[in-house]
Chain A
């Protein structure tokens, strides 16, 4: 790889990898894939709720990103730009008829054995899975705002860019989402 970071012994930054890829460095592209495919997949999964469809959307998004790399001006971070492509691609799949696999409230309530398990860790794991099941039931913007903040640690500004809203609206979506989840958790587990 011809990245600047590699020469100086540090990890190359995304913008350096992008420049390398645009100059014909195939390995730079692989590093970008290694670095961002996980978050890309989870964003697609958050929208589609279907692992296979999420993998397809992730692949198509990376291909589109590769084709459009010349159009990436670097105003935004590469990750933000990529995740915007991913979310658009996932929504396109939804419009084409790929259906979200949503769980009903009853299904969410039946996930795992709840707190009846003797092993506290098992119970904790069940509670985590139930919380994720409830997350899937939030409206898309709230779901993505919560997911991008909690799973990926993205700033509200980045979240806003990805979900197509202002930083303030991203913050509101996040807090509303968490508030609803808390209420659902109390109802589901009461």
Chain B
């Protein structure tokens, strides 16, 4: 039994690319000889396939160079492998210390830090509608809330900070 129109049309891209096995290719050819509609569609697909856009010759070199630069930048931070913890560490290192507050330490420590900031600097003005916090680092695992004044609140977590860094952080946040 010959191929149906639907089956033939689904295979036309492979037919135009010469990627069909001999048996299927012959079946398609037989169908196209007797079906004008499919033959017309085959012509359309063949014309499209005949002018696949060329890729700029220098693009691969350009991409490698860009990846080289990124690789070198992440290598300076350490880690093992692209996109794993290298970039995360670099991103964290690039942030100010107060913005690196992630999540592993007791909640009271985080709460104390936020309280110190809020009370000490008086940045919260609950009555003002335009003081709504914005979500910062939305793509990070542990989002933090950021006010214009730069005080972090919300879901503060302190992963990656040593005790000394934490103590210094709290000290810096003192009024």
Decide yes or no whether B93 CB sits under 8 A from chain A.
Answer: no
Chain B: interface residue total (CB-CB under 8 A): 37
Is B63's CB under 8 angstroms from A66's CB?
no
- State whether A59 and B49 are in contact (beta carbons under 8 Å apart), knowing that A23-B80, A26-B71, A66-B83 are contacts in the complex: no
Bound together, the chains give a CA A108 to CA B102 distance in angstroms of 56
Which residues of A sit under 8 angstroms from B87, Cβ to Cβ?
67
Is A37's CB under 8 angstroms from B59's CB?
yes
Stretch among A7-15, A89-97, A98-106, A175-183 lining the B interface: A175-183
Chain A interface residue bracket vs B: 35 or more
Query: Of A21, A22, A42, A185, which contacts B44 at CB under 8 A?
Result: A185
Decide yes or no whether A113 CB sits under 8 A from chain B.
Answer: no
Give 1 or 0 for each of B80-99: 1 = CB within 8 Å of chain A CB.
11111101100000000000
Most buried by A among B51, B64, B88: B51
Which residues of B sit under 8 angstroms from A178, Cβ to Cβ?
9, 41, 44-45
Query: Of B44, B53, B62, B80, which contacts A131 at CB under 8 A?
Result: B44
Decide yes or no whether B7 CB sits under 8 A from chain A.
Answer: no
Which residues of B sit under 8 angstroms from A124, Cβ to Cβ?
47, 50
Which residues of A sit under 8 angstroms from B135, Cβ to Cβ?
none
Decide yes or no whether B164 CB sits under 8 A from chain A.
Answer: no
A59's closest neighbor in chain B, by CB?
B66
- State whether A67 and B60 are in contact (beta carbons under 8 Å apart), knowing that A37-B55, A131-B44, A151-B49 are contacts in the complex: no
Is B67's CB under 8 angstroms from A41's CB?
no
Taking chain A's interface residues, is the majority helix, strand, or loop, or is none over half, making it mixed?
A: helix
- State whether A37 and B13 are in contact (beta carbons under 8 Å apart), knowing that A26-B71, A42-B53, A132-B53 are contacts in the complex: no
- State whether A132 and B40 are in contact (beta carbons under 8 Å apart), knowing that A63-B70, A69-B81, A153-B19 are contacts in the complex: no
Decide yes or no whether A6 CB sits under 8 A from chain B.
Answer: no
Is A135's CB under 8 angstroms from B66's CB?
no
Bound together, the chains give a CA A151 to CA B12 distance in angstroms of 11
Query: Of B44, B53, B66, which contacts A62 at CB under 8 A?
Result: B66
B84's closest neighbor in chain A, by CB?
A70
Is A153's CB under 8 angstroms from B60's CB?
no
Bound together, the chains give a CA A24 to CA B48 distance in angstroms of 40
Bound together, the chains give a CA A45 to CA B67 distance in angstroms of 21
- State whether A34 and B41 are in contact (beta carbons under 8 Å apart), knowing that A69-B83, A135-B48, A150-B49 are contacts in the complex: no
- State whether A149 and B67 are in contact (beta carbons under 8 Å apart), knowing that A129-B51, A131-B51 are contacts in the complex: no
Query: Of A29, A38, A130, A175, which contacts B67 at CB under 8 A?
Result: A29
A sample of 6 cross-chain residue pairs with beta-carbon separation below 8 angstroms, ordered by A number, consists of A21-B81, A29-B82, A41-B59, A67-B83, A70-B83, A178-B45
Further pairs besides A33-B60, A58-B63, A70-B81: 12, Cβ < 8 Å: A21-B83, A33-B64, A41-B56, A42-B55, A59-B62, A129-B51, A131-B48, A132-B48, A149-B13, A150-B45, A171-B10, A178-B41
Binding site for A on B (CB under 8 A): 9-10, 13-14, 16-17, 19, 40-41, 44-45, 47-53, 55-56, 59-60, 62-64, 66-67, 70-71, 80-85, 87-88
